[in-house]
Structure 1
Amino acid sequence: MMDLDRLANSPIGRLVPISGVTPGTGDTWRYHAFVPQPLPVTPALDMAALNSASKAAMEVARLDQAVSQLPNPRILVRPVVRREAASTAALEGTYATFGDVLEADFLEDRQLSSEQREIRNYVNATEKGVELLDTYPISVGLVSHLQEILVRGTSSEAYDSGGLRQRQVYIGPRNRPISEARYVPPPEGMILVEGMSDWEKWVNTASDVPLVAKIALAHYQFESLHPFSDGNGRIGRLVALLQLIQEGILRVPILNISSWLEHNRQEYLDSMLEVTMSGSYDKWVAFFSEAVGSQAKAGIAQIDGLLGLKSQMITELRAAGIRGSALEVAENLIGYPVIDVRTAQSMIEKSFEAANNAISRLVEQGILHEITGRTTNRLFACRRVLQLV
């Protein structure tokens, strides 16, 4: 339940009265929503928070450097984006195995489970967001477009998808009174429009605030405003990744922040709420910086592990006398731990028969395993890669 007494005394926002009608019953209700002030130009941060942010940025720079030295960095981006999609969805209560996430790439839309569709939508939103950054800065319009992609074809798609919400929302138990909410963000209308306009300007204004601290503050403010009818957490975490790319510290989306936050979910939620109550950003910035720094280190370790595994598999195949197309497919399995023949054909730019033979050779060598039990449209998995990613 929202602590109205503490929120009424928050130094970084105010309570405003709201009212509405409960769908189904027609009962009217009255309550309060919290409206955060615009973020300060120069936020007061203690030395511990500033140091944490600076160290995290250094780890991200190391990760970017490690990726930039690879001949084809985007091959490693593919599984990382899908891992991020699974983790960020899990934070919102949508669960799917990583194998199901990878399998979704090879299914038609009608074949997708609701969980696979939501997670694939996040992958699509990530790829679109990175593409749009080549032309546009992070903006309300950009994130609104990404939210529309995120909820497309799901139960969360609504009349106000793809734009700022046109209704009151709250964070708390489903189908319970708003008075039991953990947090109630600003009402729809001009308060929300102005809040998001201020957020956009703040994100894109040059600042002496260390980048990871700036991203942490922007994420807090985005979640406090809760601008969309659904998908705010996932879009907010995606924006954090896009900020790293926009600022040039990371060239490709290879940082899996949500996995760490998923394992520290309660502290993640409590830390943001404590900012709202106390007005102090220090612990939140340190917490978020730890997430970024830890996952950057983990990313470097994963790259090393995948490259080592690839080298090991290629050595094993050559020792077994395997050459040609099968080796070409094996070279790419660290990015495609689940694969079908058509994808392999496109990968090696040869005939379907050549790709099918290559897959068969890799199955014979125990590198790939058929996972569908079908005779057509079969999928194959490299379990050794899946264990690493």
Structure 2
Amino acid sequence: MEAVDIEALRDSPIGQLVPIRGHDPRLGEAYEYVAYVPDPLPSNLELKAETYAAVIDAASAMARADQASSLLPNPSLLARPATRREAVSTSALEGTYALLADVFEADFLDVGELTGSVSEVRNYVTAAERAYDMVAEGQPISVRMLEDLQRELLRGTASDGSHAGSVRTTQVFIGLGNQRVMSARFVPPPADHRLLDGLRLWQDWIREPSAIPTIIRVAVSHYQFETLHPFHDGNGRLGRLVMALQLMSAGELRFPVLNISPWLEQHRTEYQDGLLRVSQTGGWDNWVCFISAAIHAEALEVIDRVDKLLALREEFQAILHGAKGVSLRIADDLIGYPMITASAAAALHGVSYQAANTAITKLVDKGILRQRTAGRYDRIFQCDGVLAALEY
């Protein structure tokens, strides 16, 4: 990873370089360098007509995706796998890899049975679902909320510690590796009043009423958050989660069914370079178009996925020949619960363990479910058709 172009940042029209100094314990040496402090976000943005056209297209696709999700008997069911898809991709962007099926399975395993990577991805699921609930209850996005979510993200990981759940109090460097400070790809603001003031102004900006279209606000505020880099770890995952929370808070999405991270993962280099380029040039058009492309592409994926899941649901109903009872209810909910145990099914549908177990046996006999695990009392069953529709 290349070191930052200091001269390009020195000429930035939307931020400034400030001197920093400190001690690098890794190399046992003092350093003197510069960090980048972004200016407060503007109340108005002048963008090209082509940029607004990209935003309008993305907003239209997102509205169609939101409408498509409402075609499901229980739209909230789609949010469950969507959150896990997002967890897999947003974590992969930070170098933590897990299979979607393993993340679904984690719901039924003890902590000691999880690998480190699956446990970390699972932390994101927990944090995201909590965040969605808070926004649905009308809570505004806040730094305090993000501190709580960051603590959940780091729980039990190598990055967990006394600093978890708090805005950083020391200088950090992005893309440093084992090199000297001067080799960092980017150096965020010092951990002093400039970081705290920047965060306060960022929070105010995303909360205040504005005529700026939501997708533009999402793109711009994501840049600002990542540039401030307020935490020691988890900034990327939290920043991408905030994007979804903004769309929900603005009423653009009724349910968190749109995943932005899978597209960003496919365009990782352009994503990382785009953030830096905004700092260097102050130009918002390319960045807003990039985020609009991500939302547009993933919105179309949602529409396609809903079609596939509805087709699967109809297929299951045909296989069960209009049967009523627990087996049909479990089959109907497989689009949200493609992995299930008898205990979980009993709790979800308010029936006895025996009734749930009998229903699952019927679904296995019909080829809708298959057993995933053996040698444990509460066996895990999975629906390959739904998992395939979610994983593509």
**TM range, smaller chain:** over 0.9
Aligned partner of 2:155 in structure 1 is 152
- Structure 2: runs of 5+ lacking an equivalent: none
**What does residue range 81-160 of structure 1 map to in structure 2 within 5 Å?**
81-133=83-135, 134-160=137-163
CA distance in 2, matches of 1:131, 1:316: 35
**What does residue range 1-389 of structure 1 map to in structure 2 within 5 Å?**
1-133=3-135, 134-318=137-321, 323-389=324-390
2:335 partner SS: coil
- Structure 1: runs of 5+ lacking an equivalent: none
Aligned sequence identity (%): 45
Deviations 1:128-184 (A, max 9, x none): 112222242111111222111111121112322212111111110423222111111
Moved more, 294-303 or 66-75: 66-75
Q: Is the 8 A contact 2:343 2:378 kept in 1?
A: no
Match for 1:210: what amino acid?
A: P
Deviations 1:65-84 (A, max 9, x none): 22234331111111111000
CA distance in 2, matches of 1:147, 1:304: 35
Deviations 1:328-384 (A, max 9, x none): 211111111111111111122111111111111111121111112324231111101
1:230 partner SS: coil
CA distance in 1, matches of 2:387, 2:11: 50
Superposition misfits of 4+ residues, deviation over 4 angstroms: none
Q: Is the 8 A contact 2:19 2:35 kept in 1?
A: yes
Q: Is the 8 A contact 1:169 1:185 kept in 2?
A: yes
Moved more, 120-129 or 282-291: 120-129
Q: Is the 8 A contact 2:77 2:335 kept in 1?
A: yes
TM-score (norm 2): 0.96
CA distance in 2, matches of 1:181, 1:293: 33
Q: Is the 8 A contact 1:53 1:211 kept in 2?
A: no
CA distance in 1, matches of 2:45, 2:12: 16
CA distance in 2, matches of 1:371, 1:66: 31
1:66 partner SS: helix
TM-score (norm 1): 0.96
Q: Is the 8 A contact 2:4 2:186 kept in 1?
A: yes
1:323 offset after TM fit, Å?
Answer: 4.7
Moved more, 357-366 or 236-245: 357-366
1:332 partner SS: helix
Deviations 1:171-211 (A, max 9, x none): 10423222111111101011100011111111111222111
CA distance in 1, matches of 2:30, 2:367: 64
CA distance in 2, matches of 1:372, 1:147: 32
1:150 partner SS: helix
Moved more, 256-265 or 156-165: 156-165
